[in-house]
Chains A and B, each alone.
Chain A
Amino acid sequence: MIQAKNLTKWYGATLAVDHVSFHIEKGQIVGFLGPNGAGKTTTIRMLTCYMPASSGSASVAGFDCFNDSLAVRRQIGYLPESVPLYSEMRVREYLAFRARLRKIPRSERSSAVGRAADLCGVDAFVNRPIGQLSKGMRQRVGLAEALMHNPPVLVLDEPTIGLDPTQIRDVRTLIRRLAESHTIMFSSHILPEVEAICERIIIIAGGRIVASGSPAELTERITAGSRLIAEVQGPKDQVVGAVEQMTGVSKVASQPSDGWNRLTIEVVKGQDVRQELAKLVTHHGWALRELRREVASLEDFFVQITAEQHLRRES
């Protein structure tokens, strides 16, 4: 449904997007993650035909973004990050104006505006001037505008930014509901949000795609060698020495914790030494009060992968 091939964008001498390629299937909901300045918005702007690429190609719903941009724009509902709206217009008036630009037939215009306003919780302030709305309200107006013509593809750039927790939950629920009948690409830097909503994540850093996959696949990559946390009571050197000699253990670090040794144990991929560790502790007559496997989060993965990219760029 959305395809990018070697998409590249130069701003003067600055390379903002560097040969980005990805494919989003019909009906997928995909999170586009990246730190600030990673190239998320630039990529989205090229896909939504706001700006041309310096090189590469992109298509949406089978239409080429650069040669058939009007057709692409008809297929997309787009919510830009800053939600720029005409502040002098009233909400209903603005949505009706956009409906006319979207060529929604006159007979369906009013119901399309009403349906989108209802869906996004805009109906409560539909007669107020946009200039008087809060950031969250404006965000919802922008979302209503993006949905109004019922496009097959939704591109949402930071859709929950500026919303309060209740509104964030509502928007997430709405996005999930829309995912049943739309292909959705949305950017965010709120990792739990992406993890909760998306079936697939694309991570961009330094203008390049550095990872792509389901949230589970991505976190699996960081748990390549898993980590155990154990709290053992006994002579520190003996405890650390004994654990280090266990098969499958690659590294042990110890920190004192209320008279206990808090061990961080790096384990070789594919090994599970928890049972052996419990036996070892019992065998030496030490005490064990905690033993758990540390599960890496998407946040860990994100931090690791973007840091690697940063180091690569520096070098």
Chain B
Amino acid sequence: MGNVWTLARRELGNYFFSPIAYLVAFFFLIFTGVFFVFYGPRLEAGMEATLAPLFAFMVIVLTLFVPPLTMRLLSDEYRSGTIEMLMTAPVTDVEVVLGKFLGALLYYVALLVPTVAYLFILELYADPDYGPILAGYLGLLLIGGLYISVGTFFSALSRYQIVAAVASIVVLFLFAYIIGQASMEASGSLRVFLQTLSIEGHYRDFARGVLDTSHIVYFLSGTLFFLFLSIKVVESRKWW
């Protein structure tokens, strides 16, 4: 695990040299800030002091903001040739993928930290219930992990960052929104199947403050599945 942490630290450090990471952070905070002000909790007597609308909004917003953070994770290593230095060091393919994933996840968490300011604002004007808020943040962490693992997978597949980013956005948007919408039109077992696949369907309860083990398992297994695929791609690219 030592190598995973070493690689994650380098990856995290690299974000602070990347203009794209700063742009993502800037627009992410603008988006969430504007949403909080105009569509967030109404701080009036009798209204609920909650971040639930903001959390619900995140499922779509993150499909646009996570791929630019993950697109260069492995594709840049392949494009620049630094993968050769990495793969000839005593590091396993699993450690490389996990290190990249963890580095991106840490940056994502750093991105969420400023949103805690909304909590202080709620605290100033109301008496928020912290249970649903913590559940919402747990949901954000799980959804972030899934999105980053999907981004890592596409980054491992292509040496072109833009291809990795677009592919990730398309797939994430499909699972986060389109499949959820399609499930409403469907009926019977197809409806159940689509609802099972839909990210939004599983995330909705977190946004409402409900913790359901099946949703946690969904996000964790999805994350592990895409990390597994990423490792297999990294392994198989040695044969290309």
Interface residues, chain A, CB within 8 Å of chain B? 45, 48-52, 70, 73-74, 76, 78, 80, 82, 84-89, 97-98, 100-103, 145
Which of the 9-residue segments B84-92, B190-198, B208-216 touches chain A?
B84-92
B188 on interface, CB distance cutoff 8 Å: no
B221 on interface, CB distance cutoff 8 Å: no
In the complex, chain B residues whose CB is within 8 Å of the CB of A51: 238-239
Nearest CB of chain B from residue A203's CB, rounded to whole Å? 24
Which of the 9-residue segments B2-10, B137-145, B149-157, B178-186 touches chain A?
B2-10
A100 to B7, CA, bound (A): 9
A73 to B88, CA, bound (A): 6
Which one of A80, A85, A87, A97 contacts B6 once the chains associate, using CB atoms below 8 Å? A97
In the complex, the answer to whether A80 meets B84 with C-beta atoms within 8 Å is yes
Q: B interface, by DSSP: helix, strand, loop or mixed?
A: helix
Which one of B2, B7, B13, B88 contacts A103 once the chains associate, using CB atoms below 8 Å? B2
Nearest CB of chain A from residue B124's CB, rounded to whole Å? 40
In the complex, chain B residues whose CB is within 8 Å of the CB of A97: 6, 10
In the complex, the answer to whether A98 meets B82 with C-beta atoms within 8 Å is no
Q: 12 more A-B contacts (CB under 8 A) besides A97-B6, A98-B89?
A: A50-B84, A50-B87, A51-B238, A51-B239, A84-B83, A84-B85, A85-B82, A89-B10, A100-B2, A101-B3, A101-B89, A103-B90
Q: A76-B88, A88-B17 are in contact. Are A82 and B238 (CB under 8 A)?
A: no
In the complex, chain A residues whose CB is within 8 Å of the CB of B2: 100, 103
Size band of the B side of the interface?
Answer: 20 to 34
In the complex, the answer to whether A101 meets B82 with C-beta atoms within 8 Å is no
A76 to B2, CA, bound (A): 20
In the complex, the answer to whether B82 meets A102 with C-beta atoms within 8 Å is no
Task: Across the interface, name the chain A residue whose C-beta is closest to B10.
Answer: A97
Nearest CB of chain A from residue B238's CB, rounded to whole Å? 5
Task: Across the interface, name the chain B residue whose C-beta is closest to A142.
Answer: B85
Among A45, A74, A86, A100, max chain B CB count under 10 A is at A86
Which one of A48, A52, A86, A87 contacts B88 once the chains associate, using CB atoms below 8 Å? A48
In the complex, chain B residues whose CB is within 8 Å of the CB of A84: 80-85
A145 to B89, CA, bound (A): 11
In the complex, chain B residues whose CB is within 8 Å of the CB of A100: 2, 6
In the complex, chain B residues whose CB is within 8 Å of the CB of A48: 88
B187 on interface, CB distance cutoff 8 Å: no
B14 on interface, CB distance cutoff 8 Å: yes
Task: Across the interface, name the chain A residue whose C-beta is closest to B84.
Answer: A80
Q: A80-B81, A82-B81, A84-B80 are in contact. Are A50 and B238 (CB under 8 A)?
A: yes
Task: Across the interface, name the chain B residue whose C-beta is closest to A49.
Answer: B88
19 A–B pairs (Cβ distance < 8 Å), ordered by A: A51-B238, A51-B239, A52-B238, A52-B239, A70-B92, A73-B88, A74-B90, A80-B81, A82-B81, A84-B80, A86-B10, A86-B14, A87-B80, A88-B14, A97-B10, A98-B89, A101-B91, A102-B89, A102-B90
In the complex, the answer to whether A73 meets B85 with C-beta atoms within 8 Å is no
A52 to B7, CA, bound (A): 24
In the complex, the answer to whether A101 meets B6 with C-beta atoms within 8 Å is yes
A73 to B93, CA, bound (A): 13
In the complex, the answer to whether A85 meets B85 with C-beta atoms within 8 Å is yes
Nearest CB of chain B from residue A7's CB, rounded to whole Å? 15
Which one of B3, B14, B88 contacts A78 once the chains associate, using CB atoms below 8 Å? B88
A-contacting residues, B58-103, CB 8 Å: 80-85, 87-92
A54 to B103, CA, bound (A): 34
In the complex, chain B residues whose CB is within 8 Å of the CB of A102: 89-90
In the complex, the answer to whether A86 meets B89 with C-beta atoms within 8 Å is no
Nearest CB of chain B from residue A103's CB, rounded to whole Å? 7
In the complex, the answer to whether B89 meets A73 with C-beta atoms within 8 Å is yes
In the complex, the answer to whether B17 meets A101 with C-beta atoms within 8 Å is no
Task: Across the interface, name the chain B residue whose C-beta is closest to A129.
Answer: B17
In the complex, chain A residues whose CB is within 8 Å of the CB of B13: 89
In the complex, chain A residues whose CB is within 8 Å of the CB of B88: 48-50, 73, 76, 78, 80
In the complex, chain B residues whose CB is within 8 Å of the CB of A45: 84
In the complex, chain A residues whose CB is within 8 Å of the CB of B7: 101
In the complex, the answer to whether A86 meets B90 with C-beta atoms within 8 Å is no
Task: Across the interface, name the chain A residue whose C-beta is closest to B95.
Answer: A101
Task: Across the interface, name the chain B residue whose C-beta is closest to A87.
Answer: B80
In the complex, chain B residues whose CB is within 8 Å of the CB of A80: 81, 84-85, 88
Nearest CB of chain B from residue A3's CB, rounded to whole Å? 18
In the complex, chain B residues whose CB is within 8 Å of the CB of A86: 10, 14, 82
Nearest CB of chain B from residue A20's CB, rounded to whole Å? 19
A99 to B90, CA, bound (A): 11
A286 to B156, CA, bound (A): 78
A102 to B87, CA, bound (A): 12
Task: Across the interface, name the chain B residue whose C-beta is closest to A44.
Answer: B88
A102 to B91, CA, bound (A): 9
Among B80, B85, B91, max chain A CB count under 10 A is at B85
In the complex, the answer to whether B81 meets A49 with C-beta atoms within 8 Å is no
A51 to B7, CA, bound (A): 21
In the complex, chain A residues whose CB is within 8 Å of the CB of B238: 50-52
A86 to B13, CA, bound (A): 12
Task: Across the interface, name the chain B residue whose C-beta is closest to A41.
Answer: B84
Nearest CB of chain B from residue A65's CB, rounded to whole Å? 11
